[in-house]
Copies of this chain bind each other. A is one copy, B any other.
Amino acid sequence: MTEMAGKQKARPKRPAVICDEIKDWIVTQKLKPGDPLPQEKALVERFRASKGTMREALRSLEAQGLVTTRTGPRGGIFVSALDENRAMELLGNYFFFRQPSIADIYTVRCQLEPELAASLVGLMSDEDYQRLEETMRVYDHPAETVGEEYRQRMAELDFHGVLAELCPNPVLGFMCGFLQSLLRDLTVCRRIYDRPNPELRETGLSYQTRLIEAFRAGDRESARSIMYKHMLSAWRYMEACEAEMKPEFLRLRK
């Protein structure tokens, strides 16, 4: 922006500039999560800014998940690794005003979830299987109330969430996890998830059972193909629900 090195006037530094300088400092000093930054007072001196300006800069960094602060003795400002949930929240803001369609999301899921399944073959521990089976127990029976219906849908997503968490590829794992968070948040989906979806539940359960068998058998190509069909089937079902609901929705508004 307005860089112009070699100023005499020492124009007040803006928080955004300080923010970038601290980022650079973290990079060049190779600081790692948990490492302390100089204290607020010291930073104020180092960057020749006032306390208020410095605090605004630190808040920016905090919002981005790059630092955390603690009060009290041995407190201060610490480098921090942006955690997965926060990263998904931040990225979620990008799609807030760009509401993707069910097709947009499932197009990508159809590509990524099969690869996710394949990446897990041979890596699953007994404990991992237990987690999956526990999640599946939430929806191994028809729901009796609307609330349970919704909780079942969330648990179905959790199943994929567990897989994403176990994925050895951080990029793939993050993206799969993020697609789930998109599905959770989309209002279209929320409306769909609130209604009885007996077919979705039964077919989903069957795919997931077969997927676990493929994992246990160490059959990578099966795992991939089962997951692909699972995604295709869920996609079709979600779009059918959406089409069914649209007229209802229009009726309400007329």
Q: Measuring CB to CB, which residues of chain A are less than 8 angstroms from any residue of chain B?
A: 15, 19, 32-33, 52, 55-57, 59-66, 81-82, 84, 87, 90-91, 93-98, 100, 103-105, 107-108, 111-112, 115, 119, 169-172, 174-175, 179, 182
A119: chain B residues at CB < 8 Å are 107
Q: Which of B63, B108, B115, B182 touches A107 (beta carbons < 8 Å)? A: B115
Tell me if B97 and A108 are in contact (CB < 8 A). no
A-B contact pairs, 17 of them (CB 8 A): A15-B59, A19-B63, A52-B52, A56-B59, A57-B59, A59-B59, A60-B63, A61-B63, A64-B64, A81-B96, A82-B93, A98-B170, A105-B171, A107-B169, A111-B112, A111-B115, A112-B112
Q: How many subunits of this chain does the assembly comprise?
A: 2
Tell me if A172 and B91 are in contact (CB < 8 A). no
In the bound complex, CA of A111 to CA of B118 (Å): 13
In the bound complex, CA of A215 to CA of B45 (Å): 58
Sorted nearest first, the 10 A-B pairs with minimum C-beta distance are A87-B94, A60-B63, A63-B63, A111-B111, A81-B97, A56-B59, A104-B169, A90-B90, A82-B93, A82-B94
Tell me if B95 and A91 are in contact (CB < 8 A). no
A93: chain B residues at CB < 8 Å are 64-66, 82, 87
